[in-house]
Amino acid sequence: MKLLIQRVKKASVNVNNDTVGKIEQGLLIFVGVCKEDTKEQADFLARKAANLRIFEDENGKMNLSVKDIKGEALVISQFTLAGDCTRGNRPGFDKAAHPDIAKPMYEYFSEQLRNENIKVENGIFQADMQVSLINDGPVTFILEK
Active site residues: 80
Task: Name the β-bridge partners of 133.
Answer: 11
> Are 112 and 42 in contact, with CB atoms under 8 Å apart?
yes
Distance CA 99, CA 87 (A): 24
Amino acid at 29: I
Distance CA 49, CA 64 (A): 12
> Are 24 and 72 in contact, with CB atoms under 8 Å apart?
yes
Backbone torsion region of residue 94, taken as left when φ is above 0, otherwise alpha when ψ lies between -120 and 50, otherwise beta:
alpha
Question: E strand or H helix at 137, and its extent?
Answer: strand 130-144
3-class secondary-structure state, position 64? strand
